[in-house]
Amino acid sequence: MTELTDLSIAEAREGLKRKDFSATELARAHLAAIEVANSALNAYVLPTPERALAMAKASDARIMTGEAGPLEGIPLGIKDLFATKGVRTTACSHILHGFTPPYESTVTANLWAAGAVMLGKLNNDEFAMGSSNETSFYGPVVNPWRRKGSSAQLVPGGSSGGSSAAVAARLCMGATATDTGGSIRQPAAVTGTVGIKPTYGRCSRWGIVAFASSLDQAGPIARTVRDTALLLGAMASHDPKDTTSVDAPVPDYAAAVDKGVKGLTVGIPAEYRVAGMAPEIEALWQQGVAWLKAAGAKIKEVNLPHTKYALPAYYIVAPAEASSNLARYDGVRYGLREKGHDVTSMYENTRREGFGQEVKRRILIGTYVLSAGYYDAYYGQALKVRTLTIDAFRRAYREADLLLGATTPSVAFEFGSKTADPMAMYLSDVFTIPSNLSGEPAISVPFGTGEAGLPIGVQLLGPGRSEAQLFAGARVLEIADGRP
Ligand code: GLN
pLDDT category of residue 484 using cuts at 50, 70 and 90: confident
On the question of pLDDT at 242 being above 90, the answer is: yes
Average pLDDT over residues 332-353: 97
Q: What angle do helix axes 23-41 and 9-17 make, rounded to 10 degrees?
A: 150
How many angstroms separate the alpha carbon of residue 436 from the centre of ligand 1? Answer: 10
Average pLDDT over residues 20-48: 98
Residue among 276, 310, 369 nearest 181 (CA): 310
Atom of ligand 1 nearest to the CA of 158: 1
Q: Which residues contact 172 (CB under 8 A, 6 or more apart)?
A: 30, 75, 76, 77, 119, 166
Indicate if ligand 1 lies below 6 Å from the C-beta of 37: no
Q: What is residue 278's predicted lDDT score, i.e. its pLDDT?
A: 85
DSSP 428: G
Q: Could you report the per-residue pLDDT of 408-437, keeping only the tens digit for each?
A: 999 999 999 999 999 999 999 999 999 999
Share of the chain above pLDDT 90, in %: 96
Q: Could you report the per-residue pLDDT of 454-476, keeping only the tens digit for each?
A: 999 999 999 999 999 999 999 99
On the question of pLDDT at 80 being above 60, the answer is: yes
Indicate if ligand 1 lies below 6 Å from the C-beta of 191: no
pLDDT category of residue 192 using cuts at 50, 70 and 90: very high
On the question of pLDDT at 362 being above 80, the answer is: yes
Atom of ligand 1 nearest to the CA of 184: 8
Average pLDDT over residues 328-348: 96
Indicate if ligand 1 lies below 6 Å from the C-beta of 183: yes
Rounded to 5 degrees, what are φ and ψ at 403?
-120, 150
How many angstroms separate the alpha carbon of residue 258 from the centre of ligand 1? Answer: 31
Separate counts of helices (H) and strands (E) for the chain: 16, 11
Average pLDDT over residues 375-379: 96
Query: Domains plus CATH for the chain?
Result: 7-256 (3.90.1300.10), 265-310+383-480 (3.90.1300.10)
Instruction: Check: pTM over 0.75? Answer yes or no.
Output: yes
Average pLDDT over residues 70-89: 98
On the question of pLDDT at 385 being above 90, the answer is: yes
Q: What is residue 33's predicted lDDT score, i.e. its pLDDT?
A: 98
How many angstroms separate the alpha carbon of residue 247 from the centre of ligand 1? Answer: 26
What residues are annotated to the active site? 79, 159, 183
Indicate if ligand 1 lies below 6 Å from the C-beta of 462: no
Q: Could you report the per-residue pLDDT of 136-190, keeping only the tens digit for each?
A: 999 999 999 999 999 999 999 999 999 999 999 999 999 999 999 999 999 999 9
Average pLDDT over residues 221-232: 98
Share of the chain above pLDDT 70, in %: 99
Q: Are 161 and 155 in contact (CB under 8 A)?
A: yes
How many Å apart are CA 423 and CA 414, to the nearest integer?
A: 16
**Mean pLDDT, all residues of the chain:** 97
On the question of pLDDT at 275 being above 80, the answer is: no
Q: Hey, which of 82, 124, 429, 430 would you mutate to test ligand 1's pocket, going by the most ligand atoms within 8 Å of its Cβ? A: 429
Average pLDDT over residues 57-82: 98
Q: What is residue 282's predicted lDDT score, i.e. its pLDDT?
A: 87
Q: Could you report the per-residue pLDDT of 292-301, keeping only the tens digit for each?
A: 999 999 999 9
pLDDT category of residue 273 using cuts at 50, 70 and 90: confident
Rounded-to-5 percentages of helix, strand, coil across the chain: 45, 15, 45
